[in-house]
Chain A
Amino acid sequence: MKYSKAIVSLAFTIALCYALNRGWGTAPAFGRFLSPFTGFWVNAEKPLSDKPVQGSLQLAGLQDEVTIEYDELGIPHIFANNDHDLYLAQGYVTAKDRLWQMEFQTHYAAGRLTEIVGEKALESDKYNRRMGAVYGAEKSLAGMMEDPQSKVALEAYSEGVNAYIDQLKVRTLPVEYKLLGYQPERWTPIKSALFLKNMSFVLASGTDDLRMTNILRKYGREVAEELFPNYPFEESPIIPTGTPQDFTPLPLPKAPADFVGTGSMKASTERDKGIGSNNWAVSGSKSASGLPLLANDPHLTLSLPSIWYQMQLVGPNVNVYGATMPGTPNVISGFNKDIAWGVTNVGADIVDWYEVKFKDAKMNEYWHDGQWKKITKRPERYIMKNGEVVLDTVLFTHHGPIVYLDNEKPFKKNIPTGHALRWIAHDKSQELTTFYQLNRAKNYDDYVKALSFYAAPAQNFVFASNQDDIALWVNGKFPLKAKLQGKYILDGTDKMADWQGFIPHAHNPHVKNPARGFVSSANQSSTDPIYPYYINWEFAASERGRRINQRLEGMSKITVDSLRALQNDNYNLKAAGILDKLISLVKAPTAKQAKAIKVLQTWNKQNDVGEIAPTIFETWSNLLYESIWKDEFAYDENIPMKYPSLDKTIQLIKQEPTAKWFDNVNTKNKVETLEELASTSLTATLDSLAKWQKADMGDTWAWANYKSTDIKHLIPGLDAFSKMNVKIGGGTGIVNATTERTGPSWRMIIQLGKNNAVKGYGVIPGGQSGNPGSPHYDDMVETWRQGKLNELLFLQNKNEKSARIKKTIKLTK
Chain B
Amino acid sequence: MANNISTSDKESTFLGKLVSAFFSPLTSIIIMLAFVSQYFFDWWVIALAAFTACYLQAKSSGEAFRKGAGGIAMLWLLVTLYYHIATDGILSSKIASILPLNGNAGLLIVITVLIGGLVGGFAGMSGYLVRSSLNK
Contacts and interface: CB of A to CB of B under 8 A. Distances in A.
Interface of A: 2-3, 5-6, 9-10, 12-13, 16-17, 20-21, 30-32, 34-47, 170, 175, 179, 718-721, 772-775
Contacts of A40: 91, 95
With a 10 A CB-CB cut-off, give which of A3, A10, A45 has the most chain B CB atoms. Answer: A10
Contact of A17 (B39, B86, B95, B119): B119
A306 to B, nearest CB: 17
Contacts of B84: 41, 44
Contacts of B76: 35-36
A9 B129 CA distance: 8
B43 A2 contact: no
B92 interface: yes
Contacts of B42: 21, 32, 38, 170
Contacts of B97: 719-720
Interface string B50-93: 01000000000100000000000000100110111011111111
Contact of B115 (A3, A31, A175, A179): A31
B98 A179 contact: yes
Contact of B133 (A3, A170, A721): A3
B7 interface: no
A41 B80 contact: yes
Given A5-B133, A31-B115, A36-B83, A44 B90 contact: yes
A9 B51 CA distance: 11
B119 A13 contact: yes
A479 to B, nearest CB: 47
B79 A37 contact: yes
28 contacts: A3-B133, A5-B129, A5-B133, A6-B129, A9-B122, A9-B126, A10-B129, A12-B126, A13-B47, A13-B119, A16-B119, A20-B115, A21-B44, A30-B115, A31-B115, A32-B42, A32-B43, A35-B38, A36-B82, A37-B43, A40-B95, A41-B80, A41-B112, A47-B87, A170-B42, A720-B98, A772-B91, A773-B91
B104 to A, nearest CB: 12
Contact of A12 (B88, B108, B116, B122): B122
Contacts of A17: 44, 47, 119
Given A10-B130, A179-B98, A16 B92 contact: no
A39 B83 CA distance: 11
Contacts of A775: 90
Contacts of B43: 21, 31-32, 35, 37-39
A30 B118 CA distance: 13
A6 B92 contact: no
Given A9-B122, A44-B87, 18 more contacts: A5-B133, A13-B47, A16-B122, A31-B119, A34-B115, A35-B38, A35-B43, A36-B82, A36-B112, A39-B43, A41-B91, A44-B83, A44-B84, A46-B86, A170-B42, A175-B91, A720-B94, A774-B90
- A contacts with B: majority SS: helix
Interface of B: 38-39, 42-44, 46-47, 51, 61, 76, 79-80, 82-84, 86-95, 97-98, 103, 108, 111-112, 115-116, 118-119, 122-123, 125-126, 129-130, 132-133, 136
Contacts, number: 121
A12 B126 CA distance: 9
A47 B95 contact: no
Contacts of B133: 2-3, 5-6
A770 B83 CA distance: 19
Nearest to A41: B83
A583 B129 CA distance: 86
A31 B44 CA distance: 8
B59 to A, nearest CB: 16
Which of B43, B92, B103, B129: most chain A CB closer than 10 A? Answer: B43
A9 B125 contact: yes
A21 B42 CA distance: 10
Given A9-B122, A10-B129, A12-B122, A772 B47 contact: no
Nearest to A722: B94
Contacts of A719: 97
A516 B116 CA distance: 71
A37 B103 CA distance: 22
Contacts of A179: 98
A39 B38 CA distance: 11
